[in-house]
Amino acid sequence: MAIESTEALHVVMFPFFAFGHISPFVQLSNKLSLHGIKISFLSAAGNISRIRNTLKLNPSAQIIPLSIPHVEGLPPDLQITSDMTPAMAELVKLAIDLMQPQIKIILSELKPHFVFFDFAQNWLPHLASQFGIKSISFSVFAALTGSYIMVPERRNNHSTDVLIKPPTGFPATSITSLREFEGKNLQYVFMNFGGPCVYDRVLDGLNNCDAVVIKTCNEIERPYVDFQRSIFQKPVLLTGPLVPEAPSGELEETWAKWLGQFATKLVIFCSFGSETFLNDDQINGVALGLELSGLPFILVLNFPANVDAQTELLRALPEGFIDRVRDRGIVHTGWVQQQLILAHNSVGCYVCHSGFTSVIEAIMNDCQLVLLPFKGDQFFNAKLIAGELRAGVEVKRRGEDGHFNKEDIFEAVKTVMVEINKEPGLSIAGNHQKWREFFSNEGIQNKYIEDLVKELKVLLAV
């Protein structure tokens, strides 16, 4: 499909129904629309109001609601994975498979130049090709993650013993192996829940799309980007890191008042996102480790949608913990203004699950990072930040099962909190500052988007 010189590029965005996926698609849409690209954003009707708060709606952007087909076990009123049990979230993939007739009608009417699709929609390249539309597999995960797991040789041999070793031809970097508990966790991507497993969906999409776009940059992941180019022999394009925009509004008075009583960079903020759930042993290790630090802290713990979060919180915390830390600790469940909390002057350390958006938010807000990954791509993000970039500390854990204790949390926190007061140089704090300056460089970020737009136009001529 050629493009006339006076015609604007038209891109359809179709992310998976989890906000960890939706947000990067929104961020990329906003940046592309600044270059005159028309955006049509697809999502379940129940997600539209939240998307509208962040997607820059202008004459070149629109949101199109989708209806989720009935799947046994998936309540019709639930349309975002954070509101679902893990079992329900698996059913979303089956519902997305049933959306093909709906998507076919939309694409036939819109006739966009490109459709950017997520990991679950492996059928989209074939559907798009029927209308001469170019399909783009957009990975919201680090290039390291895809390079290590989503390669053809994993299809027939993915035992834990094999998964802990890099694939053939993997770049010679500091990532030389995984621990046993990490390899066991990665078995999830090969599990069948009634439809194609995650691995098969991703590989089919990568093999059949016209190009791959990854949310990353050469400065951080060039070896892994080059490796994916060599594996799939098709264009692999980059968005840059897609730094989140500064949040609007003000921090709620309750949080601002509590944080305001502490000195600069003294408070630890500890949160693991909306869809990472800790077991009782892990909650105990984190809570007691924060107590052991002697520092003020905010601990945010979330639970699956089918349990009473407040009841579970009180049950899971160590006995007497709330009383012992009453003057310097807050334990919370549910949503918080994460970016605004990280931006507060008293917050100096962020203990998190290594979700990449959260990591970038911490770096942008000058919060030292303690990384405690629990699943999938989080393991690779932690290795990238703590191992490759040396801009944070990963919590020490037992290799066979991932166990950690309060001393492991305390040691990691102590390391980065001591680093805050060091002179910049060959230190974690120095590297943190280096990458903060990089992520803050709008010229670099804009150049990635400009190059992406140029490369998309070249793709249309092929």
Tokens of 420: 């805050």
Which residue is catalytic, options 10, 97, 118, 353?
118
Strands (E), 297-354: 297-300, 329-332, 347-352
Residue with tokens 């770049």: 171
Tokens of 340: 């605004």
Helix or strand holding residue 450 (H, E)? helix 442-460
Rounded-to-integer distance, Cα 298 and Cα 321, Å: 13
Task: Give the helix ranges, DSSP H, for 59-116.
Answer: 86-97, 100-110
Tokens of 36: 């005159």
Query: Treating both helix axes as pointing N-terminal to C-terminal, what angle do 428-439 and 356-364 enclose, rounded to 10 degrees?
Result: 100
DSSP 438: H
Which residue is catalytic, options 10, 21, 344, 432?
21
3-state secondary structure at position 428: helix
Instruction: Respond yes or no: is residue 408 known to be catalytic.
Output: no
DSSP 167: P
β-bridge pairing 38-44 and 61-66: parallel
Contact 370, 416 (CB under 8 A): yes
Beta bridge partners of 66: 44
Burial profile 384-420: b = 16 or more Cβ within 10 angstroms, e = fewer: bbbbbbbbbbbbebeeeebebbbebbbbbbbebbebb
Question: DSSP characters for 369-395?
Answer: EEE---STHHHHHHIIIIIIS--SEEP
Main-chain phi, psi angles of 313, to 5 degrees: -60, -50
Instruction: Respond yes or no: is residue 21 known to be catalytic.
Output: yes
Query: In 3D, which of 252, 407, 389, 382 has the Cα closest to residue 330?
Result: 252
- The catalytic site residues sit at 21, 118
